[in-house]
Amino acid sequence: MPKVGNNAKEITKGLFLNEDPEKLFTDLREIGHGSFGAVYFARKASTKEVFALKKMVVTGKQAEERFEDIKKEVKILKCLKHDNIVKFECCYLRDHVVWLAMEYCLGSAFDILEVHKKSLQEDEIRAICAGALNALVYLHFELGAIHRDVKAGNVLLAVGGVVKLADFGSASLVNRASSFIGTPYWMAPEVITSMDEMLYDCKADVWSLGITCIELAEKKPPLFHMNSMAAMYHIAQSDSPKLCEARSKWSEGFNGFVESCLIKDATNRPTSKELLNDPFISDRRDSDSVVLMQLIERTKEAVRQLDQHYRMRKILINDH
């Protein structure tokens, strides 16, 4: 059995607390599911404060490797301090289970797409994109890190209409990487073609942001009808994707922004910082938080009306 879970050394190193989260938190309700296990809404018994708890079980075949990945995710989260990045609270390790406590958000941009079953409006996409871009600029230029899994499912919305980039399970703290990591459909061509000698950098996140824009505009990323191997082949071999209905539905600014993010050759692709000056981001009219608060209200209303959105009932959990 791998020595994971009761590892006193890790606890004393300050990465994990040893208290029992099942006693510290009450009212646990599942609000998300991932590769690792589940994410819960929870209330701290002592203060009644609300948190999200990501529960990761570390047993089985690849437990040791898995534990190393979790430690990396926690280390990265601890370094991050930005309004547009989900705030880390603390982390517990008990009996082969890691509990990551973080700021509670209402749901991801992907969850919102699922409720409405149609594309978001351009001003909503713009606001989500601007928030995610601010997080990326911080990550790329202040920390020299790469997220490596930017997609609507990892962009959360918090109360007050604030965008929060989440899920640092794939992130790299070095700004040049060679590992083959991410979710196929959102992967940059240079990540797919990167072998050990061909490194990629933070511009891979810019590509994924462009794909996320298409996802929010069309409900799915390009090539989603293909299996992931075929999709990766196409990403590497074909011309960059564009917004469908490019001219008829979306502004020139939005088309131009997506086109810039999806410049195939990473050396010519703008950095996240350069994209802050793109007219689509810099020429804002309404306040982003107002646009996003309206989107949250619109989503809550749709969830209240329709029972089938059981999974998104979570967006109403904290309403009184």
Please identify every residue annotated as catalytic.
149
Contacts of 220 (CB under 8 A, 6+ apart): none
Q: Which residue's CB comes closest to ligand ADP?
A: 34
CB 156 to ligand ADP: min, Å: 6
Q: Are 132 and 186 in contact (CB under 8 A)?
A: no
Does residue number 157 form part of the binding site for ligand ADP (CB under 6 A)? no
Does residue number 108 form part of the binding site for Mg ion (CB under 5 A)? no
The stretch near ligand ADP (CB under 6 A) out of 163-171, 220-228, 246-254, 259-267 is 163-171
Does residue number 154 form part of the binding site for Mg ion (CB under 5 A)? yes
Does residue number 161 form part of the binding site for ligand ADP (CB under 6 A)? no
Instruction: Return the amino acid letter for 169.
Output: G
Residue 189 interaction partner, one of ligand ADP, Mg ion, none, beta carbon < 5-8 Å per kind: none
Q: Are 207 and 189 in contact (CB under 8 A)?
A: yes
Q: DSSP assignment, residue 237?
A: H
Does residue number 208 form part of the binding site for ligand ADP (CB under 6 A)? no
The stretch near Mg ion (CB under 5 A) out of 92-100, 164-172, 270-278, 295-303 is 164-172
For ligand ADP, the binding residue among 135, 156, 231, 315 (CB under 6 A) is 156
Residue 74 interaction partner, one of Mg ion, ligand ADP, none, beta carbon < 5-8 Å per kind: none
Does residue number 215 form part of the binding site for Mg ion (CB under 5 A)? no
For ligand ADP, the binding residue among 123, 124, 167, 288 (CB under 6 A) is 167
CB 128 to Mg ion: min, Å: 16
Distance, CA of 164 to CA of 13 (rounded, Å): 28
CB 275 to ligand ADP: min, Å: 23
CB 138 to Mg ion: min, Å: 19
When the beta carbons of 154 and 240 are compared against ligand ADP, the nearer one is 154
Does residue number 170 form part of the binding site for Mg ion (CB under 5 A)? no
Does residue number 115 form part of the binding site for ligand ADP (CB under 6 A)? no
For ligand ADP, the binding residue among 39, 128, 213, 303 (CB under 6 A) is 39
Question: How many CB atoms neighbour CB 87 within 10 A?
Answer: 17
Distance, CA of 235 to CA of 243 (rounded, Å): 15
Q: Strand runs (DSSP E) across 150-191, as ranges?
A: 155-158, 162-165, 176-177
Residue 86 interaction partner, one of ligand ADP, Mg ion, none, beta carbon < 5-8 Å per kind: ligand ADP
For Mg ion, the binding residue among 73, 123, 167, 215 (CB under 5 A) is 167
Sheet of 155-158, strand order: 107-108, 155-158, 162-165
* Nearest Cα residue to 50 out of 99, 92, 105: 105
For ligand ADP, the binding residue among 102, 136, 211, 223 (CB under 6 A) is 102
* Nearest Cα residue to 205 out of 113, 271, 131: 271
Contacts of 178 (CB under 8 A, 6+ apart): 194, 195, 196, 197, 198, 199, 200
Distance, CA of 226 to CA of 267 (rounded, Å): 28
Q: Are 2 and 64 in contact (CB under 8 A)?
A: yes
Burial string for 276-310 (b: 16+ CB within 10 Å, else e) reads eebebbeeeeeebeebbbbbbebbbebbeeeeebe
- Note the residues at the interface with Mg ion (CB under 5 A): 154, 167
Q: Which residues bind ligand ADP (CB under 6 A)?
A: 31-32, 34-36, 39, 52, 54, 86, 102-105, 107-108, 111, 153-154, 156, 166-167, 169
